[in-house]
Amino acid sequence: MTTIELTRFRVRPDRESALLAARPGMLADFAADREGFLEARLVRLPGDEWLDVVTWRAPEHLAASRAKGANLPGIAAFFAAIDALVAAEEGTLADEA
């Protein structure tokens, strides 16, 4: 069951370039270290907020990823640029073919 992770967070304007610079490393680390990781899309919202939309093969893959946290340098650098977590949600893809 495809799982979608939605993480909304704030980034100070002076940290936006660090966030964007760290993104490729974070995605590479996820691809190498996170079983079931399919893709991620980063959305810039109004103000200083962002939304990360991550797709996982199954809910247990998301749970295992959360347990690992920022265990690799690319992931840690991306997380370090985040000022505050606003919301974190997950759901299953409703329109799977």
Domains of the chain with CATH codes: 3-90 (3.30.70.100)
| Whole-Å CA distances, 1 to 59, 61, 67 | 7, 11, 20
pLDDT value, residue 97: 58
Residue 17 in this model has a pLDDT that exceeds 80: yes
pLDDT value, residue 86: 98
CB 55 within 8 Å of CB 6 = no
Distance of alpha carbon 32 from alpha carbon 91, whole angstroms: 24
76 CB neighbour count, 10 Å cutoff = 15
Q: Is 42 exposed, middle or buried (0-12, 13-18, 19+ CB in 10 A)?
A: middle
Q: 33-88 pLDDT, tens per residue?
A: 999 999 999 999 999 999 999 999 999 999 999 999 999 999 999 999 999 999 99
Amino acid found at 59: P
**pTM attached to this predicted model:** 0.93
Q: At 16, list the tokens.
A: 């936006």
Distance of alpha carbon 41 from alpha carbon 55, whole angstroms: 9
